[in-house]
Amino acid sequence: MFIVDLVVLVLAFYLLLKAVDYAINYATQLATLFSVSAFVVSFFVIGIVSAAPESTIAFLSHLADDANTAASSLLASNVADIALVFGIMALLTRGLPVKSDALKKDSAYLAILTLPFIFMYDGTLSRLEGALLLFAGLLFFWLLAKQSNLLQAKWPKGKGTKVCKVFALLLISLAAMLGAAHFAVKHAQAAALHLHIPTFVVSVVIVGIGVCLPELIFAIKSMRQHNAGLGAGNVLSVVMIDGTIMLGLLAIIKPLVIRADLFRVTNVFMALSALLLIYLLKTAKKLGWREGVVMLCVYAGYLYLSIGRLAFS
């Protein structure tokens, strides 16, 4: 029923907001305990957990011989994460700082995200190409860990119990966040169908945005608490995991063969979004509202072309 779906949607969204508040609190505590930046904790802990939903969908789809769904769940979510989430972050902050230890130096490594565009342009991803993607993703994480001094971080003396408690509570908060986001998207889909919104619009808009809902809400909440590094680290981590490590693992398990014509739009916008973000991070001292508008226009173009393709395919 429409009313039931609407009520569950509201409750799930409320739970999502509360879970994000707790996750930000515990992530900040963890960063303080290990004397590292909030960006580092977000990138190496929160981002890895946040990548679980689309990764799970991709693995199950690939094992069921549905390579198209496997690839789309990863690449489409990356377009939303880069263009939509960063665009909204820039708009809301009216100047997202590009800090040298959080974004500016790391932006060069985002060039790795153009590799899926190159490898999958012909509609295939071989085991060798998958291995190269996996290596590139792991190399990115290692270089960032080395650059951010994470490898030199020491276990806090006399605070072992507190570290374990904070880490466990962070994981619980993240699990609640992902669970709430899942139910919010599920019942938003059902409510939209009750309103006779076309299925292809629901699949592109609601599901596409819903996949990145945890990152989006986390980013907005982080900025309101004057900790934009948490939101940025989470988004960049999820994008790198989905675009390299997860795609690579899928291809190593079984080479991907997809419909190139269906994925050309997603692939092109994935590469375009990554290159645009690299350019903005390298040339701007901050991502202001103008850069935010540009990123959102890119996502709007992606939605327009994707909906048109689905409508007439």
What CATH number does the domain containing 168 carry?
A: 1.20.1420.30
- Number of structural domains (the chain) is 1
Tens place of pLDDT per residue across the chain (313 aa) = 778 888 888 898 888 888 888 988 898 898 888 888 888 888 888 888 888 777 877 887 778 787 777 787 788 888 888 898 888 888 877 666 655 444 555 556 667 888 888 888 888 899 999 999 999 999 888 888 888 777 777 778 778 889 899 999 999 998 898 888 888 878 887 887 788 776 556 655 666 677 777 888 888 888 777 777 778 888 888 888 988 999 999 999 989 887 766 677 888 888 888 888 777 776 666 677 788 889 999 999 988 887 766 555 5
Domain assignment of residue 75, given as a range: 2-312
Segments in the chain forming alpha helices (H): 2-34, 38-41, 47-50, 52-63, 67-79, 86-93, 115-119, 127-147, 160-194, 199-201, 208-211, 213-224, 228-240, 247-253, 260-283, 289-312
